[in-house]
Structure 1
Amino acid sequence: MMRRALPGWLLVLFLTLLATATDEFVIAGVLKTIAADLDVGVPAAGQLVTVFAVVYALGAPTLAVVFERFPRRTVMVLGLLVFALANAAAAVAPGYWALMAARVLAALAAAVVTSAAFATAAMGAPEGMRGRYLGVATAGMTAALFTGVPLGSWFGGAFGWRATFWLIAGVGTVAALGLLATAPRIAGGEPAPLRERLAPLRNTAVLRLVTVTFLAASGGLMFYTYLAAYTAEVAGGSHGLLSVVLLTVGVAGLLGAVLAGRAADALGPRRSLRLVVGGHALALALAAALVFSGIGNPIVMGAVIAFWAVFAWGLNPPIQGSIMGAAGPRAAMTALALNICGLYLGTGVAGALGGAVIGIAGIGWVPVAATAAMTLSFLLVPPRSAHGARSGGRAPERAPTAVDT
């Protein structure tokens, strides 16, 4: 049977998530310039990253409850326009607190857009292709790590830090226009009491899967956060070697996101989730063993890291498919937003816990601690889908479509 070509709107979703993910991390590359220009310390400038992440994590589930009932295209387009305006405000911010306020607004808009984008990718997918569509959307976030973030940092270095925010504002505007022209008309949930819209918060199956995400993020991103120190510990490290390692992570991560989406379609979201989380735990265990083995070969280390990255960035398609199956189409956006909250809280824990491990035992024990967290995550993965293991990644039952005006 002939494969269906991916629609243009899915590629615009890729661009959308590339922009929102870039906005979160890109500021790290221009922190010193911002600190000098606004006459604040580098630690204070660093809080621009922290505040964005915290607001994003807490805003995603809160705002999803508010916007769940609106058509997805309307939510994404208006959210992207607010996102673009917030970045334009950041570009002209006269001082530190004005820039902080713009970052808060950008984080809130990005949280809404991301939840709606993943819901659109899943609910707009043809039968049997939900995982593949989610994989493409996820790849946009993955690509930000080694394309959007370095490009934005270079752009800021060449033209000033304000130009970085103008660039993101421009990309956000282009994405908004693209979605306005191409995105499918997927209706929001029917009007319902607040108690019903908060149903994912009481759904034990959803909460269990969000915990899987939290633990997986805590373990996987703990290793990623201290990857430079790990590289130096295993293979001596150099700027050139680290650059190759980071490029390897990016390429392997993109491959992992796409393959995980296909696996979710072929095996069903729950079976593919067990495969991804189990493979991730195994990869971290190999990374831990490599530290204590005394093998300092950069090629061996690169192969282990590439193997890890495939699983590390393969989590989103199967976990999102599983969560949508557990929550149902009416509460899909809220449930996905709750999962984003778990992801970002896990990211915050990863950095803090990894730092504590290094302080107590050294960098070599970071992959050991990460393996423990990932093993707990694997043990929490439900063995079968709520609808049986043979769900095959089918698109969820759709709410009736409404005209998106």
Structure 2
Amino acid sequence: MHTRPPLWLFILAAVLFTTATDEFIIAGVLPSIAADLGVGVGAAGQLVTAFAVAYAVGAPTVAVAADRLPRRTVMVGGLALFAAANLAAAAAPGFWALAAARVAAALCAAAVTGAAFATAAGAAPEGRQGRYLATTTAGMTAALIGGVPLGAWLAGAADWRATFVFVAVVAAGAAAGLRVSAPKVAGSAPAPLRERLRPLAAPAVLRLVGATFLAASGGLMFYSYLSAFAAETASGAYAVLTGLLFTVGVAGMAGAVLSGRWADAFGPQRALAGVLGGHAVALALLAVFAWADWGGAWLLFPLVAVWGLYAWALTPPMQGSVITAAGPEHGMTAMSMNIAALYLGTGAAGALGGAVVEAAGAPWIPAASAVLMLGSFALALRPAVAAARTATAHEAKANEGDGATGVECATAAPPGTPCAP
């Protein structure tokens, strides 16, 4: 019988909430920053790019440097520096000082996020790794639903600098909570630099990193241009855009939780293939919706809900698959590279989506996204098939071992495990 999830797991979700909020919060305060610092809105928007690029480039590097340290040490120290960087952003006298603070915050966030996922996976009880990763991931989804709107509200009620103070306070609180509650998950054993870098060149890991990049590019392309797509394909959709975004948030939270259960039940590789396949089908249905000119938000809502369910179900099985491919001893480095691919895909989504809109129009966005998602599915299919064959072989061997009696062991083995003869 499983006990209730520990406190530190929910603190990890708060950590991901904080780092994700810090990434996206700029979007809600760009005009205020531009006016206060005397730069254009376009220039202020480069603060988003600076954070994303620093995170993507820095994640594998920081992970390799911190790989030998205990995960709790990395998280607590990284969160303290992350809070300091956000306080520096709040006090920035000019644009370049703010940009430097954002880069520093991104590097700290990269270290903390990788250690958080490694802790959730490494300290999870047997058979519950997917659910622990899902709970951690839910913090990122909550940032989109609550963190970013809250930051925008703070900017309106006080000042844009208050948003960075808010992030710093939450980060400091999470650091204090992890200091007293986080489990002791050791870093990797001492090894030459070449050995620590091995996951960065492993074909199985690179295949999954490529799948993450394509999935992020395809899924976030549709999300980035949802308002434009709705405006052109569903009459009166602008009036219900807030409802559509709320639908995505609710469906995304459900997807993040359910995918963890799928990963535990079927294995992360098979769950990942199922999520990517479902995501591709959802995007294809949205493309048909646009091409068939059905119109009306009444049909767009359920289609977007199905899409949101699969779109936000990606991370738990993907991170679990990466850990399986790299091995627990290289998990933090491999997961950091995977997170970097997620951020690079996020950046590519906006550029690719813009090109599609300019060339063919917003109704073609889901079709282009579906093509990228099919590519991601193809990369994830091979490990899923291998995992299915392994599971079938183990099941056949177990049936041979118990003489097909169906008698279960009354031991600490998982339910349904047959007794050895």
SS at match of 1:384: helix
- TM-fit CA distance, 1:146: 1.1
Matched-pair contact (CA < 8 Å) for 1:14–1:137: yes
SS at match of 1:165: helix
For the structure 1 residues 89 and 238, does the alpha-carbon distance in structure 2 shift closer, same or farther, using more than 3 Å as the test?
same
Cross-structure match for 1:388: 390
- What's the CA shift string for 1:37-93, capped at 9, x where partnerless? 000000110001110001001111111000011000000000000000000001111
What TM-score comes out, normalization by structure 1 length?
Answer: 0.95
Query: Equivalents in 1 of 2:391, 2:34: separation in Å?
Result: 52
Matched-pair contact (CA < 8 Å) for 1:271–1:384: no
- TM-fit CA distance, 1:232: 0.8
Cross-structure match for 1:309: 308
Cross-structure match for 1:220: 219
Cross-structure match for 1:165: 164
Query: Equivalents in 2 of 1:231, 1:148: separation in Å?
Result: 24
Of 377-386 and 191-200, more deviation after overlay is shown by 377-386
* Aligned residue identity for 2:61: T
Q: How does 1:295-374 map to 2 (within 5 A)?
A: 295-374=294-373
Matched-pair contact (CA < 8 Å) for 2:13–2:139: yes
Matched-pair contact (CA < 8 Å) for 2:208–2:322: yes
Q: 1:139 and 2:138 equivalent?
A: yes
- What's the CA shift string for 1:73-116, capped at 9, x where partnerless? 00000000000000000111111111111001000000000000
Matched-pair contact (CA < 8 Å) for 2:9–2:132: yes
Cross-structure match for 2:15: 16
Query: Equivalents in 2 of 1:378, 1:40: separation in Å?
Result: 42
* Aligned residue identity for 1:39: G
Cross-structure match for 1:60: 59
Query: Equivalents in 1 of 2:144, 2:322: separation in Å?
Result: 25
Matched-pair contact (CA < 8 Å) for 2:270–2:388: no
Query: Equivalents in 1 of 2:229, 2:238: separation in Å?
Result: 13
Query: Equivalents in 1 of 2:41, 2:201: separation in Å?
Result: 41
SS at match of 2:121: helix
Cross-structure match for 1:184: 183
Query: Equivalents in 1 of 2:80, 2:18: separation in Å?
Result: 12
Matched-pair contact (CA < 8 Å) for 1:226–1:354: yes
* Aligned residue identity for 1:85: A
* Aligned residue identity for 1:346: G
* Aligned residue identity for 1:325: T
For the structure 1 residues 370 and 152, does the alpha-carbon distance in structure 2 shift closer, same or farther, using more than 3 Å as the test?
same
Q: How does 1:110-259 map to 2 (within 5 A)?
A: 110-259=109-258
Q: Percent identity?
A: 60
* Aligned residue identity for 2:172: T
Query: Equivalents in 1 of 2:114, 2:388: separation in Å?
Result: 22
Cross-structure match for 2:33: 34
What TM-score comes out, normalization by structure 2 length?
Answer: 0.91
Cross-structure match for 1:375: 374
The root-mean-square deviation of aligned C-alpha atoms, in Å, is 1.4
- TM-fit CA distance, 1:387: 9.3
Q: 1:292 and 2:294 equivalent?
A: no
* Aligned residue identity for 1:241: V
Query: Equivalents in 1 of 2:111, 2:389: separation in Å?
Result: 29
- TM-fit CA distance, 1:237: 4.2
For the structure 1 residues 387 and 104, does the alpha-carbon distance in structure 2 shift closer, same or farther, using more than 3 Å as the test?
farther
- The alignment of Structure 1 onto Structure 2 pairs a total of residues equal to 391
SS at match of 1:385: helix
SS at match of 2:19: helix
Query: Equivalents in 2 of 1:209, 1:32: separation in Å?
Result: 38
SS at match of 2:387: coil
- What's the CA shift string for 1:151-183, capped at 9, x where partnerless? 111111111001000100000000000110110
* Aligned residue identity for 1:35: A
* Aligned residue identity for 2:284: A
Matched-pair contact (CA < 8 Å) for 2:279–2:373: yes
Query: Equivalents in 1 of 2:389, 2:123: separation in Å?
Result: 20
Query: Equivalents in 2 of 1:178, 1:387: separation in Å?
Result: 42
- TM-fit CA distance, 1:345: 1.0
Matched-pair contact (CA < 8 Å) for 1:325–1:386: no
Matched-pair contact (CA < 8 Å) for 1:322–1:385: no
Q: Which has the higher contact order (CA 8 A, sep 6+)?
A: 1
Which structure 2 residue ranges, 5 or more long, are not aligned?
396-421
Query: Equivalents in 1 of 2:220, 2:265: separation in Å?
Result: 27
SS at match of 2:386: coil
Give the greater-gyration-radius structure (CA). Answer: 2
